Amino acid sequence: MSQSPVVIGVDSSTQSTKAAFTDAVTGRLLAVGRAPHRVSGEGGARESDPENWWDALREAVAAGLKESGTDPSAVTGIAVAGQQHGLVVLDRGGKPLRPALLWNDTRSAPQAAALTEALGGPGAWTARTGSVPVASMTATKWQWLRENDAAVARATAAVRLPHDFLTERLSGVAATDPGDASGTCWYSTATGGYDEELLTLLGLDPALLPAVAATGATRVGSLTAGAAAELGLPAGVAVAAGTGDNMSAAIGLGFGGAGLLDHPVLSLGTSGTVFAATRTRPASIALAGFAAADGTYLPLACTLNCTLAVDKVAALLRLDREDAVPGGEAVVLPYLDGERTPDLPAASGLLTGVRHDTTPQQLLGAAYEGAAVTVLRALDEVLRACGLDPADPAVATRPMRLVGGGAQGRMWVETVRRLSGRPLIVPAGGELVALGAAALAAGAATGQDPVAVATSWDAGGGAELEAVERDMETWERVGTVLDKAAPSLLA
């Protein structure tokens, strides 16, 4: 009996690569191959060798083939969803000139401030790109490279995002998609293309950039003979444009034009993000006004400090991550890597409100609360960007999807539930970024709408946790500390 068609969705994140082998008809997850990444850097620096991502992709695909027992001839499509914003610079042979600057590298904070001022302030940027430059955005990293490693900047023959780099290795085609491109701050969500004035401001030749496909599901090419040999797959497999990790998670949830719109999502991973898919183009200086992978939009707020920061606090206290209780009077702002929302790139962690009877478990609980409040405070702005009134009872009680590694932790779920006051849905299916990429791969192979594909797979379905009374005392205590501390944290 012949095997059903299989698609591979690749999640190339900050820490690892996952290759999800997925039945293209039913969405059943056959296997997930995994391989780690190496991240280096001290202080504000965070870098990775892009060749390590390719090696990890090869290892993950090999592991997935072996675990799933998939006949390579059954694979019909592949798509990559990658960590957003990273800057990859290549020579004329397509080889990296230096390690990639990652999204959570905060060294370009001064360049972000200078670029914002050079164009006339935050409003001028959101009118064009939907977003204000912060240290995470690719444009600021390119400007940092020009000022700090000018020889490499001059030698650069191609500029890519992490997922673009891998897509090009697969297909031989230099392509990106509107979703990931919208995180560069040189792509205009107003016009749907690269902004020539911004490229001039950045001294960036548009010839160095990849072409922008119509959507992340657009078939940009086929698996080359060389890539096929390295991956153990047949040449000619459809290669999708792919997208950024947050855009792919939205697809995996069935969010977009053919699915759910204006529903909030909170992702608890290395970063904490809150977003929604909408038809309304966002232009808020408080948010990243991204495009979505399917042609809609994805207003998003991102915090640098989420699960890794809380796990670090747990390690310092010598506690298991689940050995925590509500923080009481203690407040912890776990800004161990600076912060993006709010824009505090030079911030460090803050602890206040400690008493003689404060327990280690309360301090850990306070770290959870500080991280959760930081990202949840942006939720109302995301809803406004969707054209909704956050005070509308119908909006305030709309269920929020909770995804990412933290969504599997009891303390994360209960903290978010208590501080949001919303019903929560924790999708039963895992690996939503990889499954979203698999839906993009299926779209490239068949021409189907990837959101409709993901909806039919029901990867975003799950049991609903009823809302509990919102803990306004903790909400206001943490918020007050954050508002008072923000000016000093900027120093």
> Hey, what are 282's tokens?
């966002």
Task: Tell me whether residue 245 is one of the annotated catalytic residues.
Answer: yes
pLDDT of residue 404: 86
- pLDDT recorded at residue 112: 97
Residue 242 to residue 199: CA distance in whole angstroms: 23
Angstrom distance (rounded) from CA 59 to CA 240:
20
For the chain, the straight-line distance linking the first and the last C-alpha, in angstroms and rounded, comes to 66
Examine the pLDDT at 54 and tell me if it is beyond 70. Answer: yes
Closest CA to 64 of 23, 36, 34: 34
* 138 within 8 A of 82, measured Cβ to Cβ: no
Check if the beta carbon of residue 344 is closer than 8 Å to that of residue 432: no
- 439's CB contacts (< 8 A; 6+ apart) are 9, 217, 251, 252, 450, 451, 453, 454, 457
**Residues making up the chain, counted from first to last:** 491
In angstroms, the CA 240 to CA 355 distance is 56
Give the model confidence (pLDDT) of 106-135 as tens digits: 999 999 999 999 999 999 999 999 999 999
Mean pLDDT of 228-236: 98
pLDDT in tens, 401-440: 999 889 999 999 999 999 999 999 999 878 999 999 999 9
Q: What is the CATH number of domain 6-246?
A: 3.30.420.40
Nearest to 239, CA basis, from 4, 437, 38, 468:
437
Reported confidence tier of residue 380, pLDDT bands at 50, 70, 90:
confident
Instruction: Confirm if 305 and 374 have CB atoms less than 8 A apart.
Output: yes
**Looking at the predicted structure, is the pLDDT value of residue 38 above 90?**
yes
Identify the band that residue 489 occupies on the pLDDT scale cut at 50, 70 and 90: low
**Pairwise CA distance, residues 438 & 47, whole Å:** 27
State yes or no: pLDDT of 286 exceeds 70. Answer: yes
Q: Are 2 and 40 in contact (CB under 8 A)?
A: no
Q: Write the CA distances from 236 to 172, 214, 232, 420, integer angstroms.
A: 12, 21, 12, 47
Fold: same for 6-246 and 260-426+461-491: yes
Among the options 164, 180, 195, 245, which is catalytic? 245
pTM (2 decimals)?
A: 0.91
State the pLDDT confidence band at 307, using cuts at 50, 70 and 90: very high
Is 173 or 304 the better-scoring residue by pLDDT? Answer: 173
pLDDT, position 339: 87
pLDDT for 488 equals 65
Kindly give the pairing relationship between strand 158-160 and strand 88-90: antiparallel
pLDDT in tens, 310-363: 999 999 999 999 999 999 999 999 999 888 888 888 899 999 999 999 999 999
Cα–Cα dist 435/430, whole Å = 8
Take residue 205 and report the two structure tokens written for it: 């030749």
Q: Burial of 290 by CB count in 10 Å (0-12 exposed, 13-18 middle, 19+ buried)?
A: buried
Looking only at Cα atoms, what is the longest distance across the chain?
A: 69
Report how far residue 30's alpha carbon sits from residue 66's, in angstroms, rounded to the nearest whole number. 11
Which band of pLDDT confidence, cut at 50, 70 and 90, is reported for residue 2?
low
Q: Locate the domains of the chain by residue range.
A: 6-246, 260-426+461-491
Contact assessment for residue 347 and residue 393, using Cβ atoms and an 8 Å cutoff: no
Percent of the chain with pLDDT over 70: 99
Sorting pLDDT into bands at 50, 70 and 90, what band is 491?
A: very low
Task: Compute the C-alpha angle 225/226/230, nearest 5°.
Answer: 115
Strand-pair partners of 188:
193
236-254 tens-digit pLDDT: 999 999 999 999 999 999 9
The mean pLDDT value of the chain amounts to 95
Q: Determine the Cα angle at 474 with ends 469 and 480, to 5°.
A: 135
CATH for the stretch 260-426+461-491: 3.30.420.40
- Res 259: pLDDT: 93
